[in-house]
Structure 1
């Protein structure tokens, strides 16, 4: 939102959650529960020809995202420690972030975070993932609501809420080509779509589960937490008189850190805030890790512990360049988050809507009484509006990524080589 102009971004983001995100969650759900497999195995089981290969888009996206997501999560751990030591600085915030964001310290934090992910996922669904999430998700909600209540009392909060909650139609109309692809990428990322998470988790669901209800709960709860994060961040920035228009990691790790330095008990508040972000990152990372681990377990019959340890080590090594230079985060993120996620959603929507529609309808009707014509309406919505929207979004994001490769990344290569 800071990069894309505030409330106009939020408006489009929420619209995409409802109109694209929710239908695609259901598409992943029906495939996952019907096949009881990871994305690669699922498409092999019910697909034919080239359709059996699209599961690789999901697994590849999860692998690439986790490799740099772990690096960024490592930064949040470091900023928790900085806050507890009372070390946030206003004037030197950019230099402080530069020291944290790359180098051997960043590699060490990347390794520490990946180790935590490996341990939890290696323990399995019930003893590891389910148990940890039962603790982490309520903690995120409670802490976030507490912080939101606190920042409500800060001077400048009213202006922050206006920036956050009052979209201007003129901005939406004039900037939609820029806002739309960014909002779509964020919607897919925050809902874990296109990386196989929903498909993999659905493979563990019983036939008595109401998939539409489960998808709705996920979309609402996830969006509520994301929305609450904005209610926390922007009043802090406005209270400190800091422009929220910074892009990328600079907003949270430079602007917010500088803002905490200006607040009473800012070190403690910052540690709580970044701690909440770290917990949220861990809960997301174990979900992504489960996708790639389930592939080895299902398709190669490898035990969970060696599968998790091996993949964790490979992901760590692949992400190490991102810990050494920020340009690789942009390189990985642009490819996986902005292209692969929506490409996976597009291909799956075509597959579910046009290739296996009867299977999709039969699966979604399980566990839902008196669904009537709603199942057919969902199927046609996936077939036409969702597919058309995703074709346009993939094209827009691919064009943006091409601009990055021929611009910033090309300049970096020329300078480095």
Structure 2
């Protein structure tokens, strides 16, 4: 049996968990799903999910991980019995699927970052004028399609996965903890600076109105779209339903206050997601771009056009895309750690072999995404709307209905007697959270089936 590692410091665990949450989920997915959801309407539903669902749910993952000191498969099997190892396997699959396309998207950000060194974004867009005219598409779309697929996308996917594998192979203290202690503070400082600058732009007021003033009629009218989108985004950005928090908590000592740590992690994550909106939407509105473009490339379309049209856009683009690249790496290492921990715990494989082997398989799964973006929609829709929510739902059932006593006892370690608060937490998990997750899962499945029968079926017919 390979000896398990532990965190060297409390700050190491918190920064690793924050780093997992503060990645592409906040910077890539959050702006475009917020735009699709109508701005402030989505933001309000999302914040409610984070507060009412996210915090109780992250405590569930924490107690499961710390109690068992195992990866999701071993943890669920220990608490629920042998059959639950298959549910634990869902978390491993989720990590595989998400990281496979996440790495490709992270490669886009690195590529956009490097593009800023060679020329201004205005100069790059000008190079796509002819292709755009021929295709009947904006220059930003043609540039994105060129940079997001093909040999270059494959190369940057390779580079990003190599960096991720290297950090995880070094271990908890020498790899993950050391890396996040550098990356996360840098990310926060850079984003705060960008938010202050974005507030000086000409259309910042209009952008803030779009982002911060919800129209409740929009929420009522579009709740079937907003509910699964907000649930998926909340779980994606908090790294819930992926097994990350279970795995990270498995390296904790019993003296840690899980409630306090969970509150800090969620507070940082939510603040940074909110901060990203304060950066992105003023830039988009000032450039006259569309904040509600219904596509995974929306953030690239809008921001490339924006950086091409504002003073100092080249350097701001470098700063923004560089920041996101760092954030993406901090999240990717957490996803790979989940599957690596599984192989270490259950198969007794050495860490470097486990990281290299699992990382290699994930890398291969992501290769088709570098060929055609339909595979990104296929994988992201399945992971976000179905796998994440299903994994979280089953974990809530396990803790809320099958093994509630251990959960309260485990949560009280490092906190003290919770009294009725512990009971209230379990009942919140048992009924309202499970109901919301069931509804979100049903709506997510229907939406994904629509995609399979629509866009994906059309793509297959065109082959």
What SS does the corresponding residue of 2:356 show, helix, strand or coil? helix
| 2:373 paired with 1:319 | no
- For residues 82-121 of structure 1, what are the structure 2 equivalents within 5 Å? 82-89=115-122, 92-121=139-168
Structure 2 CA distance for aligned equivalents of residues 240 and 3 of structure 1: 18
Partner of 2:178: 131
| 2:189 paired with 1:142 | yes
Structure 2 CA distance for aligned equivalents of residues 329 and 243 of structure 1: 22
For each residue in 1:308-352, what CA deviation from the matched residue of structure 2 results, as whole angstroms up to 9, or x when unmatched? 111111111111001111000010111111100000010000000
- For residues 249-264 of structure 1, what are the structure 2 equivalents within 5 Å? 249-264=296-311
| 2:334 paired with 1:287 | yes
Partner of 1:158: 205
Which segments of 5 or more consecutive residues in structure 1 lack a partner in the other structure?
Answer: none
The 10-residue stretch of structure 1 (136-145 or 171-180) with the greater mean CA deviation from structure 2: 171-180
Superposition deviation, residue 364 in structure 1: 0.8
1:73–1:281 CA contact under 8 A, matched in 2: yes
What SS does the corresponding residue of 1:411 show, helix, strand or coil? helix
| 2:100 paired with 1:67 | yes
Partner of 2:40: 7
Partner of 2:111: 78
The 10-residue stretch of structure 1 (236-245 or 28-37) with the greater mean CA deviation from structure 2: 236-245
Structure 2 CA distance for aligned equivalents of residues 86 and 8 of structure 1: 38
Structure 2 CA distance for aligned equivalents of residues 112 and 209 of structure 1: 36
| 422, 429, 432: which one aligns with 1:382 | 429
| 348, 367, 370: which one aligns with 2:395 | 348
Which segments of 5 or more consecutive residues in structure 2 lack a partner in the other structure?
Answer: 1-33, 126-137
What SS does the corresponding residue of 1:259 show, helix, strand or coil? helix
The 10-residue stretch of structure 1 (175-184 or 346-355) with the greater mean CA deviation from structure 2: 175-184
Structure 1 CA distance for aligned equivalents of residues 219 and 437 of structure 2: 19
2:77–2:83 CA contact under 8 A, matched in 1: no
Structure 1 CA distance for aligned equivalents of residues 203 and 69 of structure 2: 51
| 323, 333, 342: which one aligns with 2:380 | 333
| 2:84 paired with 1:51 | yes
Structure 2 CA distance for aligned equivalents of residues 248 and 379 of structure 1: 38
Report the count of equivalent residues.
416
| 2:391 paired with 1:358 | no
What SS does the corresponding residue of 1:208 show, helix, strand or coil? coil
Structure 1 CA distance for aligned equivalents of residues 251 and 204 of structure 2: 44
For each residue in 1:225-277, what CA deviation from the matched residue of structure 2 results, as whole angstroms up to 9, or x when unmatched? 11111100000011111121112333211111111000111011011111111
Partner of 2:58: 25
| 2:240 paired with 1:193 | yes
Structure 2 CA distance for aligned equivalents of residues 379 and 184 of structure 1: 20
Superposition deviation, residue 4 in structure 1: 1.4
Superposition deviation, residue 369 in structure 1: 2.4
Superposition deviation, residue 292 in structure 1: 0.3
2:343–2:349 CA contact under 8 A, matched in 1: yes
Structure 2 CA distance for aligned equivalents of residues 92 and 336 of structure 1: 31
2:148–2:370 CA contact under 8 A, matched in 1: yes
1:51–1:351 CA contact under 8 A, matched in 2: no
Superposition deviation, residue 43 in structure 1: 1.2
| 2:447 paired with 1:400 | yes
Superposition deviation, residue 49 in structure 1: 4.6
Superposition RMSD on alpha carbons, in Å? 1.0
- For residues 194-233 of structure 1, what are the structure 2 equivalents within 5 Å? 194-233=241-280
2:40–2:213 CA contact under 8 A, matched in 1: yes
Superposition deviation, residue 216 in structure 1: 0.9
What SS does the corresponding residue of 1:258 show, helix, strand or coil? helix
Superposition deviation, residue 151 in structure 1: 0.9
Structure 2 CA distance for aligned equivalents of residues 87 and 209 of structure 1: 49
Structure 2 CA distance for aligned equivalents of residues 327 and 53 of structure 1: 29
1:61–1:337 CA contact under 8 A, matched in 2: no
| 2:418 paired with 1:371 | yes
Structure 1 CA distance for aligned equivalents of residues 100 and 141 of structure 2: 24
The 10-residue stretch of structure 1 (384-393 or 243-252) with the greater mean CA deviation from structure 2: 243-252
| 2:228 paired with 1:181 | yes
2:396–2:434 CA contact under 8 A, matched in 1: yes
Partner of 1:276: 323
